[in-house]
Each structure stands twice: as structure tokens, then as C-alpha cells.
Amino acid sequence: MKSVKHYIRTIVDFPHEGIMFRDVTTLFADPRGFRMAIDQMLHPYAGMQIDKVVGLEARGFILGGAIAHQLTVGFVPIRKKGKLPGAVISEAYTLEYGEAVMEMHDDAIQPGEKILVVDDLLATGGTAAAGIKLIERLGGEIVSTSFIIDLPELGGRKVLEDMGMDVHVLCEFEGA
């Protein structure tokens, strides 16, 4: 039987030379692979109280929507700056070259709600850490974080664990 990792293709030198891009669109396109990924991302949380799933832009929206549907809970997107209408809260974080800003509606999460954070890839942890800070500013209690892929050499798991987060991943790839 194939594992989730077998459905993910690697594209060499994208978006820059020396990068091994881990492309989950091939996983999403295969009904068995996609179902397997969603089921495996859900499994650790069976029987736990989760009030909302938060997905990080952009592939986290695909995963988060499917997981929220399976759990029969609400879904909240965390987006790049300027993409959400209405009142938002913002969190800046550093990238390899520069800075980015993530935003969430200021009424998306109520204090005390139990939150599961999902995305496709954990690299340096910057995007996830910014999302976690936004959720915590609104009083959300993060149950766990869940990713399809971890790139251990980039240290994102340690960043999130140092923030007190539980981190669940389905597979790892070496290299950047």
C-alpha cells in the first residue's frame, strides 16, 4: 500500500535553483491519496474537543476545509496581508529575504475555543508561528498543529515545540 509520501512529487530548482519543491497538488489530485492524508491528519484527534480548524494560506485552506467538514466544525482562514475584507489582526514574521504579514478576522475565534492548525508544509515554522500568535491573541487554545510534510533540516518543528505546540506530521523529506 502506498503512503502519503508516495503521492507527493518533487520539482527540482523551483522556485529557485537549489530548491527541491515538494508538490502536494499530485496528492490532492488523487482521490485515495487525498482521503488518506485527511484521515491520517484527523486520526490523532479522535475524541478530542476541537471547535474550529484554522488553515494557513494557501494549501492549508484545502486541508483545513476537508478536516473541518469531517469534524463538523467551523473553518477559519489565515491569509496574507490585504486578502481579507473587514476588520483584521495582523502578525509580521521574517522570511529568508525580508518580512511577510499574516492576517485573520478579528472576530474569527472566541476566547477558549479549541483550535487545530493545519497546513501542507512545515519548513522554518515562520508562517505557522505567526498564525499561532494570531490565534492566541484572540484567546484561542491550540490543541495541535498538523502538517503533511516536515522539512526537519529547516527547524520549524523545534520552533513550534519551543512555543509549547504539539506537532503532528505525516512524512518528512530531507533537504530544503
Which residues participate in catalysis according to the annotation?
Answer: 59, 96
Cell of 40: 491520517
Q: Which residue has the cell 526537519?
A: 152
Q: Distance (Å, rounded) from C-alpha 127 to C-alpha 94?
A: 9
**In terms of Cα–Cα distance, which of 152, 156, 155, 154 is closest to 173?**
152
Cell of 33: 491519496
Cell of 62: 484545502
Question: What size, in residues, is the chain?
Answer: 176
